[in-house]
A and B are shown apart, each in its own frame.
Chain A
Amino acid sequence: MFKDITIGQYYPSNSILHRLDPRVKLFGVVVYIAAVFIINNLIGFIFLTIAIALLIGMSKVPLKHILKGLRFVWFLVALAIFFNLFFSDGTIIWRWWIFHMSYEGIYRAVFFAVRLIYVIVGASLLTYTTTPTTLTNGLEKVFKPLDAIHFPGHEIAMMMSIALRFIPILTEEINKITKAQLARGADFDTGGLILKARGMIPIMVPLFVSAFRRATELATAMEARCYSGGPNRTKMFPLKYEKRDKIAYIILVLYLLAAIGLRIAMDHFLTWGAV
Chain B
Amino acid sequence: MGRIQFDHLTKQFGETVAVEDLTFDIEDSEFLVLVGPSGCGKSTTLRMLAGLETPTSGDLYIADEHMNYRVPQNRDIAMVFQDYALYPHMTIRENIRFGLEEEPGYTEAERDERVEDVAETLGIDDLLDRKPGELSGGQQQRVALGRAIVRDPEVFLMDEPLANLDAKLRTQMRTELQRLQEELDVTTVYVTHNQTEAMTMGDRIAVLNDGRLQQVGEPLELYHAPENQFVAGFIGEPMMNFLHGDRSEEGFVGEYIEYPFDERLERAVGDAADLVLGIRPEAIDVRHAGESASQSLGPHEFRMTVTVTETHGDQNVVTLTHAEDEASHDTIRAVTDGMHIVNAGESVIVTVEPDAVHVFDGETGEALCNRRLETARELTI
- Chain A partners chain B: no
Binding site for A on B (CB under 8 A): none
Binding site for B on A (CB under 8 A): none
